[in-house]
């Protein structure tokens, strides 16, 4: 991963929006991601950046997914069709195959 550099025994990871790649799947708008890590099994870790009107459209998860809001606010809809608004420090967990969209809430 080109966003990782060694610092002695540690690996320093840059996951800022400046190194993020646009997300083009699922009718995504104004969203990008940075790969942070990948395991040998079903472990994938990404940081997703949303602009003010960003969204990732309806799609099934390819693996279990943890969506955490660290800045701004957003929303997600789970497989039951219920929307939940999320503030910094909150998140949602999607099961494998769960149909869901997610988006930012403009400030």
* Mean pLDDT to the nearest integer, 31-41: 81
- What pLDDT, on a 0 to 100 scale, did the predictor assign at position 1? 61
Task: Report the mean per-residue pLDDT for the chain.
Answer: 88
Phi-psi region of 52 (alpha: psi -120 to 50; beta: other; left: phi over 0): alpha
pLDDT band at 69 (very low <50, low <70, confident <90, very high): very high
Give the residues across from 22 on adjacent strands.
32
User: What confidence tens digit (pLDDT) does each residue in 40-61 have?
Assistant: 777 778 888 899 889 999 999 9
């Amino acid at each position: 991963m080109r966003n990782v550099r060694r610092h002695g025994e540690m690996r320093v990871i840059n996951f800022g929006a400046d190194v993020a790649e646009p997300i083009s799947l699922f009718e995504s708008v104004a969203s990008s991601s940075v790969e942070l890590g990948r395991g040998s099994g079903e472990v994938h870790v990404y940081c997703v950046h949303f602009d003010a009107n960003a969204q990732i459209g309806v799609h099934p998860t390819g693996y279990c997914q943890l969506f955490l809001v660290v800045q701004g606010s957003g929303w997600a809809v789970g497989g039951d069709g219920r929307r939940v608004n999320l503030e910094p420090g909150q998140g949602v967990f999607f099961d494998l195959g769960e149909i869901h969209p997610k988006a930012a809430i403009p400030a």
